[in-house]
Amino acid sequence: MKTIDTLIAEGVAGRRVFVRADLNVPLAGDGDAARTITDDGRIRAVLPTLRALLGAGARVVVASHLGRPKGAPEQRFSLAPVAARLGELLGQDVAFAADTDGESARATVAALGDGQVALLENLRFSPGETSKDDAERGAFADRLAELADLYVGDGFGAVHRKHASVFDLPARLPHAAGELIATEVGVLRRLTDDVSRPYAVVLGGAKVSDKLGVIDHLLERADRILVGGGMVFTFLKAQGHEVGSSLLQEDQLPVVREYLERAEKRGVEFVLPVDVVAAAAFPDLETKASADPAVVPADAIPAGLMGLDIGPESGALYAAKLADAATVFWNGPMGVFEHPEFAAGTRAVAQGLLDSSAFTVVGGGDSAAAVRLLGFDENAFGHISTGGGASLEYLEGKTLPGLVALED
């Protein structure tokens, strides 16, 4: 896989470089003027690649998706706020094209000078970006290719998608991997090919069904798996415990029981909470009003209460289980970390990673957002991924179309 360093060494001055980034940042507010970015981590992640190209005199054309529009423009998914923030972070103007492959895009790109940058409107406003029809997707890639001379893939959060800008476009232009993708792949190889042990994995999030593939894969590789978040209640129920009104996926109980049995046979330690923080209703995340939480035993959650975080004893237990690890991969919060009454479990895990001497990887998505929201120093972790779904699929052993497309 050619890297951006090689591309720059070959010469990019005066050439149009299409950078497929992942700028799918969370936005808050209603209406055009009120849309504000609540976490700019993914924008900051692509800055090294953009700065390297701009410094070498390239004319940089950045493209990304945002949200899940249905193949047509939707103002709430416009990348206009991202263009403004990107300009602030780069310290230079970012031209914004009002479309992706139309008149505005062509004029905006044509007006670029050496060392200047433009951002195209949301790629998913075109049905060709996500089409399952190869011809439709290819036709869109053809139009995008007309805007550039070179292609750099740096949107790791999208490499598991067979989309036009991720999979088809690199085949039409000389291509290379950006700094972010090169870093992400290097980190994930350390979690799969040559792992330092003990290898501990922390999994959270709402649904166990979202993590079945990675659990199945890690049962063959990890030494210890710690489970939290909404998904943990399916594990507790599979052990025969009462979970009150907690989130539960009844249809996943058989497969969870099978995983627990496999773990025991293989000597993989499965760690579940011993206590949880529960409440009668899901908390209000806007007002942060008290939900009157109660700490209850994890194996006997009262009827009418739902678990919303692992409890203090569990937080201490999980930190202890991480203390001697040499490698830790964490994907998914331990509770509703956005509310202060249910953030302690996630905080305990994050602190446990920092207190260990392990190579620590925070697997993107809500885990990365939690690290920032709870005020941790991102640089203190070994790596914070920008692609939760892509990271999980890599760890499952799946082939990622966006990485295949970047191979020489």
Out of 207, 257, 262, 372, pick the active-site residue: 207
pLDDT at 365 exceeding the cut of 80: no
Mean pLDDT of 58-85: 95
Q: In 3-state terms, what secondary structure has residue 21?
A: coil
Mean pLDDT of 81-88: 97
- pLDDT band for 193, please (50, 70, 90 cuts): confident
Q: Fold match between 4-180 and 187-396?
A: yes
Mean pLDDT of 165-175: 98
Q: How many residues does the chain have?
A: 408
CA distance 370 to 375: 8
pLDDT at 183 exceeding the cut of 80: yes
pLDDT for 278: 98
Express each pLDDT in 44-58 by its tens digit. Answer: 999 999 999 999 999
CA distance 102 to 296: 58
CATH topology of domain 4-180: Rossmann fold (3.40.50)
Find out whether the peptide bond into 273 is cis, omega within 30 degrees of 0.
Answer: no
Query: Which of these, 178, 144, 186, lies nearest to 163 by C-alpha position?
Result: 144
Decide: 210 and 180 in contact? Cβ < 8 Å. no
pLDDT for 358: 97
Mean pLDDT of 77-86: 96
Count of C-beta atoms within a 10 Å radius of residue 277: 27
Out of 204, 332, 365, 387, pick the active-site residue: 365
* Cα atoms in the 13 Å half-sphere on the side-chain side of 99: 15
Express each pLDDT in 257-296 by its tens digit. Answer: 999 999 999 999 999 999 999 999 999 998 999 999 999 9
Has 14 been annotated as catalytic? no
pLDDT for 306: 98
pLDDT at 225 exceeding the cut of 70: yes
* Cα atoms in the 13 Å half-sphere on the side-chain side of 203: 28
Count of C-beta atoms within a 10 Å radius of residue 123: 26
Could you tell me the residue ranges of all domains in the chain? Answer: 4-180, 187-396
Which amino acids are annotated as binding site, given as ranges? 22-24, 42, 65-68, 124, 161, 211, 307, 338, 364-367
pLDDT at 33 exceeding the cut of 60: no
CA distance 21 to 63: 6
pTM of the model: 0.86
Has 375 been annotated as catalytic? no
Out of 16, 42, 137, 224, pick the active-site residue: 42
Residue with tokens 């209406």: 31
pLDDT for 32: 52
pLDDT for 392: 87
If you write DSSP's letter for every residue of 186-220 in order, what string do you get? HHHHHHHTS--SSEEEEE-SS-GGGGHHHHHHHTT
Average pLDDT for the chain? 95
Out of 2, 57, 389, 398, pick the active-site residue: 389
For residue 361 the two structure tokens come to: 């990887």
Query: Which of these, 48, 352, 4, lies nearest to 201 by C-alpha position?
Result: 352
pLDDT at 381 exceeding the cut of 60: yes
CA distance 284 to 339: 8
Mean pLDDT of 368-379: 91
Which amino acids are annotated as binding site for substrate, given as ranges? 22-24, 42, 65-68, 124, 161
Q: In 3-state terms, what secondary structure has residue 40?
A: coil
For residue 62, which amino acid is it? V
Mean pLDDT of 195-206: 95
pLDDT for 148: 98
250 exposure class (CB count in 10 Å sphere: 0-12, 13-18, 19+): exposed
Decide: 387 and 361 in contact? Cβ < 8 Å. no
Which one has a higher pLDDT value, 364 or 362? 362
The CATH number of 187-396, from 3.10.290.10, 3.40.350.10, 3.40.50.1260, 3.40.50.620, is: 3.40.50.1260
If you write DSSP's letter for every residue of 296-360 in order, what string do you get? EETTEEPTT-EEEEE-HHHHHHHHHHHHT-SEEEEES-SS-TTSGGG-HHHHHHHHHHHHS-SEE
Mean pLDDT of 27-47: 82
Which amino acids are annotated as binding site for ATP, given as ranges? 211, 307, 338, 364-367
Has 389 been annotated as catalytic? yes
- pLDDT band for 15, please (50, 70, 90 cuts): very high
CA dihedral 188, 194, 199, 204 (to 10 degrees): 20
Percent of the chain with pLDDT over 90: 87
